[in-house]
Amino acid sequence: MPHQSSHALVKRPAAAMLAALAGLAGVSGTLAATGDELQVGQPAPGFSAADSQGKSRRLEDFRGKTVVLEWTNADCPYTRKHYTSGNMQGLQELAREHGVVWLSVISSAPGKQGYVTGPGADALTQSRHAYPAAVLLDPSGDLGRLYHAKTTPHMFVIGPAGDLRYMGGIDSIATADIDDIKNAEPYLKEAMLAVVDGKPVAHPVTRPYGCSVKY
């Protein structure tokens, strides 16, 4: 059984002392841009984080593949919108068919909405018939803050070369209404497929919507 105190292990460039004071370890990678701001077209922040099975997952292990990061909270109505409808699972299956690595990230802190243990995360994956390559547990919020994840869902696409190619909302209609999915522009889907096909992303930065990440 994975130990739920496992933290996402991250470090910002030129901040080793600050990271040590914050109790962070297992350094990997750099932020995408100066000023701690993410920037499309720049290297995505490297990380190492424990998944729901207790296995360490590093972004650099997926070099050469397209990676999707999905911040999730099963108790959030905006997240439920996309899982109850099957929209999120459909995107995850599409990712699998195209060789994309889909990593769901849970950054809810202990005692906050959406917090789960490793077995709890696995039970959610099974009950929701979800298809992530792995569910990363981030109870410390280190990984979420590294990526400036604001909402559930908040989506990121990283290209095979490790560059950030998309960040923002799953689609264009910011509601919790399932009926709106069919009328929304599917930003994440379009971005993911564009990266897979080696094409420019039409909308590389969009506004994320959903519940606030429960750090």
- Residues in a beta bridge with 151: 212
9 in any annotated domain: no
* CATH number reported for the structural domain that contains residue 205 in this entry: 3.40.30.10
Residue 208: cis peptide before it, omega within 30 degrees of 0: no
Domain assignment of residue 113, yes or no:
yes
Mean pLDDT of 9-23: 34
5 within a domain of the structure (yes/no): no
pLDDT one-digit tens code per residue, 106-158: 999 999 999 999 999 999 999 999 999 999 999 999 999 999 999 999 999 99
Structural domain includes residue 183: yes
Residue 36 pLDDT level (bands cut at 50, 70, 90): low
Residue 9: CB partners within 8 Å, gap ≥ 6? 24, 25, 26, 27, 28, 47, 48, 49, 142
Cα Rg of the chain, angstroms: 16
- The verdict on residue 11 lying in a domain is no
pLDDT for 167 equals 98
The DSSP call for residue 123 is H
Quick one: pLDDT band at residue 26, thresholds 50, 70, 90? very low
In the chain the beta strands, taken as DSSP E runs, fall at 48-50, 56-58, 67-71, 101-106, 134-137, 151-152, 154-158, 164-168, 211-212
- Give the domain range for residue 59: 16-212
- Residue at 137 is within a domain: yes
3, part of any domain: no
Q: Is 1 helix (H, G, I), strand (E, B) or coil?
A: coil
Overall domain count for the chain: 1
Compute CA 129 distance to the chain's CA centroid, rounded to the nearest angstrom.
18
Query: How many Å apart are CA 121 and CA 103, to the nearest integer?
Result: 13
> 56: number of CA atoms within 13 Å, CB side?
11
Residue 10 lies in a domain: no
